[in-house]
Every structure is written in C-alpha cells, then in structure tokens.
Structure 1
C-alpha cells in the first residue's frame, strides 16, 4: 500500500511540476484537482495535513507504464479525424501537423512493411513548452470504424508483418508533453493508411517521383527539408523504394523515408533525388526529380537599360507578416529599397553603374509579441554593358519635278531623265553599340546613274562608293556606300543620294529600299535593318486602253419589242492605264458604225441603246456615238465597268428574225485638250 501511495504521489508531483513549468496559470488548487482526476479516475485530493496511512485509495495498477497508458487513453480520441496539414513557413512550423503521412502499402504474407511518418509542433508552442517531446501511439482496425491501440508500438515508424491475405488499417497519434500528458496537451492525428496483403508479389513497370517542393534553403540554422514520394505503376506494386542522391554536398536523403535535407554551408546547385523500387521477377524501376538548393534568391544578369526581377524562392503555406528588400552598394552601404511586403522586387531600369550591386530580403512572421525572421542570401546583380545596336532608319524619295505624297515615300509621273533624291535618316542612340565595317545599300534600276552622294553633308566618292549588280534581280543594281563606322558616335545621321532615271521600258512602277548592314565590334555578330519601301510610279506620257468583248443574251420571238441585256460579266469592259505626265481633260466615247449583221448579209432588226445609271438612254448608230466618261484636268481616266442595266443594250424591233450569230464592231474613241490618243477595239456580240 505504501508503495502504491508513493507511486501515485510521485506521478502527481511530476504532473504538478510539469504544469508549473509549462504554464503557471494552471497552478490553482481547483484546477489541480480537476486535471489529476481527469488522468487517474477515482482519486481526489484530501487534506494533505492528514497522515498518509489514513488516505483511502482504490485498487490501481502498480506499473508506471500502465498508469501512463491509462492517462493517454483517457486523453486521446482514437476516432478523431485527421489533423489538417500544417502551415510551414520555409523552416518554421506555424501550426502543428504531419508533413509526412503514412501511405498505403502492398505486400505478401510474412513480408514486412514499414509505415513512415513525420510530424511537428508549432514554433509558438515549442517556445511555450520547451521541454515537451513527441510521443507516438499507433492504432489498428480491420473496418476503419473500430480501432484498437497497439500498446507495444511507441516508435515514430511502424513495421508490420502480416500473416494472412487481406487489408488492415493503421493510423498514428502524436502527443507532445514533458514527463506526463494532460488534457490540454498538443495532439495531432494522422490519416488512415492501409497495409494490403496480396496472394503473390506484384512487380512495378514504372516509378514516378514527386516532391512537396522544388527549392531548399542552404543558409538557415534549422534544417530546410522536404519529402520525396514514389508513385509506382501499378499502384499495388509490392516492392520497397530506396532513395539516393547524386550530390550529398548539396543535400542528403533518407534512403527509407525520402526526407531531403539541404546543406547549411551556403552551397548552391541542383540536386537529383532518385528512387529505386525493387521487383522480384524483373529488374528494378527508377524515377527521379531535381530540387534546387540555394539561399532564397538567384543571381540576375541583365543588359543595361533592362530591369532585373528578384523572386524569393521556396514554398510558403502562409505569407510572411513583412518583407523588406535591401540593396548593398559596391561600397558596402546597405540601403532599403522596398518595404511593401511583396515576395519579389523589380529594380528600376539599370545602368552599367548598377553592376555588382547585391540584394537580399528579410522576411518576418509574427504571432502576438513573438517574431521569427528569415534572411535570404546576397544575390548578385550583373549588368552587361549595352553593346546591342539601337539603329532605326527611314527613307524618303523626292523628284525635282515634285509630285510626291505627304510622307515622301511615293512618287508619281517619274520619267526617264528625271533626277530623284533618295534620303536616309538614321537614328543611332547607343554609342556603346560599337558598329563597325558597316555599309548602306540602295536598290535601284540598273539604268539609273548616280549624280551626287553625301553623308552628314560630306561628299562620298572613290573607294567609299560602288555599284554592284543585284544577285536576286538582273534588272537591278545596288548603290553601296562602304566603311560606315558608328563606333564612337550617336545621334542623327543623314545620307542623300541623287540619281538620274534611265530608260525604264514598259515598267509602270518601281520599289526602292535602303539596307543597312554592319558588325558588332564586341561580339563580331552581324546586324542589319531595312528601311521602309520607296515607291515611284513611272509616267510614260501616254494612255493605254485594252478592250474586252461582251455578248448578249439570246434573242427569239419572245424578245420582240423588249430590251435584251448583255450576259453577266463582273469584269471591266475597258482597262485604262493613264500614265500621262500632264493629264489634260479627257473624253471617252463609244461608237457603233455598223449594225449587227449575219455573215455580212442579214441585218439584225434591233436598235442599240446606251443606258446610263439614271435609267435614261441614248441611241447609238452610225456617226452617233455616246460619251462614256469625262475627266477634268489633272484627273486620271479610270477603267470602265458596267452593271447589267448600264451600257449598250439591244432593243429588239417587232420584225421578222433570222436565226444565226450576229456581230458588229464597237469603237472606243479618246479625245483630250492636247493632241489626243485614239484607240479602236472590236466588240463581238
């Protein structure tokens, strides 16, 4: 009896001391009684001034381990739902939970399988209860409804060896306490995992590897860790997975659990984790995944004039309370550049003076009055001197006789002997581009002759100018200005080329274009850019007409006294190219000197009428023509189109008709205020 009394009192004293250390607010008489009564049923505190032998005690276990199990069973709810996933801020647990849940396993009779778990308490609870340690309880069920505690299993991992085919379910509870548990102790509950025993081994064909994240920190006091997981195919493969790492100086991996832990030496790089699943009847299968190890920020390299963006790497279940970005200047000065609590920072446009600047971020998480901070590594900013060419060119064209558009990109009425002025304006805004060995080319007709060339008002001649055939067009050549060197200059440059137009034959238009080519003095890489096209239309001081025939619909007895239209034709009936330099007022007329006849013998009993858009008509015949189009001075004559209700239509007279195909000739006549050009064309109908 005295032994039991001493054991009880020792446990009670341990509990009270633990409670006092953990949280002083529980050191109250009435709370003491409630807590202890909740752990050891049937015991209450009497007046401790009474002699010990007079205390009435129930029958209790004498083994301290049994007493602890009674306490734990009274606290833990074996049917409790799984605890939510923890919030982990890189290396800090903000809430308690499991970061590795037990997973389903498949095996055969008498072949052991191990369920692996990993759980953690929050940093805030660890600060309040620094002496508390985790204790593990395992539960077993065959139906996921009725659970039995496995009293002999108190390790973090559970190994089972099934003795028959079937499925058994397991789950774990983890409780943190010092010496003895209490009702208010932190507890987490895992998800349910199954161990299924199959009649025979099943091999895997494939292994897919996943990870909780893709980045680990190498510069923190606490371990930066994640778990890798293997997903076999088929999913009920019975083999075991063994994990390995290709570079243990970057990170290590637990060969059984798949826990990856980064180095703390600041070594950065990419580490490959490989899982190998064993098979029985064939070779093992492997899968791997890459994980980056670093200090939180990556070094950045940008060209001068670009911005640089630094992103904080890693997985965050919860955003930090604050994020402050710092910049370390080459002279060592620390400057806060942003405190807007963002996980990335974008610099202003850089200049070469920003080269070798360093950046880092400080993240803070807060709970009440307690703070935790994580500082990233120093990330280097490298700014490359901007030696990229920044050249824009624009061409214009002018004729000494005028007649160009507002932008100077189109000319009209160009003829042989005209002197055209081609101008190229070059904008070069980066003196560091160092463009050397450059040339400017101008594509022109092979009959054009150069008159004068100037670059920035300086004459170009001799070896700096040449004419070469265009290898892509035998009717063209290229004016080439050589030895363009912009290595030490920036701003605006102007090139002017005057050329005399030669014989152009029947060409009606031509397109010229400037081409600028050079080499980058630093890289040696070529650079080229083309200008806008320069179009010039040639005026041959003539007007050309091309007529097309038309046909009428059939004529028979039913069409007597009616109007017969032409057959449908959406094309032009007269094509006009008006290339006159001086466009005088012009009149275009249509004549039918002879009636429709059959074999030059029988005349068709019909009258030709020319219908206008307003529905009025004018008879055509003999010397009576009709004006089709008129233009004023300076206006070009356009091609002629007719709708079915317009133009020359046939009115069939109510007379005898002779079957056959009738034809006639229509004559287009052109007249203008200066000596006119006439063109006659036949029309079959």
Structure 2
C-alpha cells in the first residue's frame, strides 16, 4: 500500500488554565462510529449513522429515522417511545438496552426492557434523557450486527399544555410501494415540525383514502394492497388545549407498484423508472437481479428484454409499433434462508403519438468509467480534469421537412469544449452563449445537415476547477420550423435531461477547540481530563468528505512544543498523551506523530470524538507551576493510502 498520496497539515492551539483559572484547549470534533474499533460501554453513546438502503435491502444497519429526538408532554400523558433497528438480511434476533439520565452526563440502565418500545413515566414535571442500544445476535449468541446507538432523546414533562401556533409535515419519500413482499420495507414516514417546538398537544395522523394507505400514531405510512393505487394526502391535525384552535397540515404522496404509465411522441426517448425502492441506487449484489419484460398488449405474450440489473428501462427513438406496449420488472433474490424468491412491479403502459425529430442523448465520464452510480444520463462524481463524452443521435422519424434547424445544449461554465464532431465532419462551427453565472449554451446551426435523416454528434468536454459540490442538469433542445406549413409554424423537441454531479474530490476536516478542566490541586503524574463539551457526543474533528474514492485515511497528531503562556515566559510541566482505555495504553505525543485512528477502505469519514477517559489527556509532570493560561500547538496530519 502506498501512502502520502494525500497529505496536509492542520494546527491546533491548546489553552490550559491551571489552579483557579479556566482552561480551554482547541480540539477537533468528530465522533465517528466509522473510526471506532471497540464497543461503547456506557452512555452518552455516539449515535450510529442512519441506515443505508440500496434498492430492496439494507446494506448498513442502524435505527430508522422516524423516532422523536425531542418530545414535549404534560403530566400524566400516555406516551411510549418507539424505535426500530434494521440490519442487512441475515438470520438474527434483536435485543435492545435502554438508559435514562437527568442531565445527559450521569446515566443509569432501565431494567426489564429488551424491546424498542419504552413506556415513559409522565407523572412528574421535569426533563429526562433517553438513549438505546440495539444488537443483532446469532442464534448461537454472538453479535453479528451492531451495536447500533440511537440519538439522545429529550422528553420534557410540563405542568400545563402548550398550544401549537404553526404546523407543517414532510414525508421520507413522495412514493409508497404497494408491492406485497416480506423482504420489502414498504413503509415511508411522515414527520412534523411545530412552532413552538415545546407544543404538547398530540398530532393526529390520517390519510385522505384509507383504502389505499394507512398511517399510525408514529407517522409510519403503509400500503393497504397492491390492488389499490393513486395519489393521496397525508394529514396531520392538532387540537390545541388552551385556545381550542385546530391546526392542520397535509402532504401529497403517490402509492403504486413502482412504475407509471408514459405518454410520448414518435421518435422520443423514454425511461421507465422503478420508484419507491430507496433514494440510493440499487446495490449490485450477486444475489439480487432485475429483469425487464415487455408485453405488446394487455393480454399479449411476455418478452424478456436485454436490460438487466437496473432500476430504469430506457427506450430510444420510439417507433409506432411500440404503441400500447406494457412493461414491468421482476426482482430475483436469495433470502436469508438461501431460498430463491421473486417479486415484480406493476405493468406500465406506453402510449405513442406522432412526433418529428427524436433526440437520443447520453453522457460518459471517460476518466472515471467504473463509478457504479453512473448511468447514461447521470454522472455521480465529476471532478477537476475529468474528460466527458456527450453523444447525441438525431433521427427524423417521419422524414418531415424542416428548416432553420438549431440544436441547443446547456453546459456548466466549469467545462471546456475540446472537440466537436457531427457524423464524420470535425470542422464544426458553433456559438457559446453565457446565460448566467452557472450556465452557458452551445448553439449548433444544423442547416448544412438538413438532408440527413440521422445525425450523430460527439462532444468532448474537459472539466475545470471545482470549488464546491453542485448539480447541473442539461436538456438538449432542437428547434426548427415546418417547411411545408402555410403558417410557418415553429417546432421544438427536448432530449433526455442529463444530470452531472460535480464534487471537489477532497477531504475537508474541521478541527475544534479542546478544553481541559482547571487544575485546582497540583499532583505530579496525575491526569487532567477534558471538559464535557469536548467529549462525545461532541466531536473533535468534523469531516466533509467529498472524495470520489474512499481510500483508507490515517489520522496522526503530534504536540509541537511544551505548554507555555501567551508571552512564552512561563512553562507548564505537563504533556499530552493519547489514551486507549480498551488496551490500557497511552502514548506521549510530544514531537512524536502518533496514530489516532485509521479508517477502512471504502469508508466515508464523518467525525471523530472521544469519551472522557480516551483520546488526548493532560499528564502533569513533577515541577512547579504558577497560575496562568497555557497553550501549545498540535500538528494534525491526514495520510490517504491507495
């Protein structure tokens, strides 16, 4: 493995106040369960990242996002916290462990509850904090998934009700799958936002059509049957206890079998996309496959199409013989008991009307061909110096006579045209017109090609400097007028929208201040701990990881000089040590780059943090000290391996 492909230096100033003075140390905030290699033994736990669902399976476990992190109640309200952990598909049984705290610092376990449901005691006014751990174990008893840690949940019990002034809701997805299959997580979730946040009256959830979908008291929306589809409203209602007013919010969702019917024109390109699986691309695992099928009519024979293992089916340059065809997708997978299972989407119909010129366009990142998130119309991770190839096929399906044909292709300002070819002609004149601070338009006069039935256009692009992540959408349009029209009517037709997601391809750490407790009594060889606001769940380093490939990163830290006051006249007999309580070891970091953590390959960095008795702690040395504020400099190094 090669190191130092990616390396840079950050500096950290630490201020320590001995005796009666307040002490502060600049720290980096980042608690990432990614970087932790051992189980956390007591709260406050660092919350696990949200679970990741790719297509039909969870590939990373965690807690579903539909649980409260703050709940305001009145005395004697009936309320139960409901949390649900999920994990990748393997045979396992699940157990939960709950903790409670009065101050988020001192925690005590809640006995006799191994489920994700916790009945809250609301008999007394006050604030309590809760956190839960979930572990999936094999039937033999050993852990195979987790532990997963919830966020800290704050529950406030009030003496009197607090009215809701404003209410709004959101749903985790605009589409709810109604396919009946045990492996599918068909639920989506509605969440509310209220002003004030401390409002106490309960939310009453409902739908506009209970024959299509249900919603429970936690905002979980589930389909009724695959026989019923359509657009419905999710409604939230609050009845205020004090002013007696009613507040209502609603959100529209679609319920269906994954595919929508499409109406298109002759020569168009269309894409059937399976909706409702997840926001992520499907995981291309060997045990999951997708096959597409076509039926020429409602009762026609099924034809297996060459498209496979994709949640989208694109049909280019539509011909009239496809009018009325039906399309659907079949999923095949192996369940946790190694049995072959299948399920399928609904059948969607294609209806074709007459058109003039069809545009079949696609784009490829030739510098990064293996990105699994890329498709013909979507580039997921485009970075500086990438070479892009944008191809367009124009076909005059009806051989209609047009004049004044012009092709317009929107492009981001960050790309330059390196070559343009139409059919075999590489000497093409074009115009570039700047539209805004984000976009320019490539304008091609196609008059010299008016007698061609088909045109093949190849556009080569080079990506310039990218200063921030952004998305750019490009929809090519061909304009013209009917040659044989008495009224000289204008005509235009859109191609497929191409999405380009630009990234800086860099790792940006943000290092936070570290604060140590004041030294009240000087005891040589004793440890001084950080203040609570520099311990987990607060972070030492926060990462904005915009890299395209998540190579392993080693984090190192070193203390550059001894602790000194602002004028460098007084020195503190102390040094920083990196403590590992799991192995009961510590390392002096004075002038000695010490490894803090190493991420795994293909692991995105989010944060780094430490519990109270781990990480950087201050060790006092024999000697004399005087009151004051002391500081040192930490050198942080991040080394990426390839």
Same topology, TM > 0.5: no
Structure of larger gyration radius: 1
Question: Which protein is richer in helix relative to its size?
Answer: 1
Relative to the length of structure 1, the TM-score reads: 0.42
Normalising by the residue count of structure 2, what TM-score does the alignment of the two structures yield? Answer: 0.45
Select the structure with the greater relative contact order (CA < 8 A; seq sep ≥ 6). Answer: 2
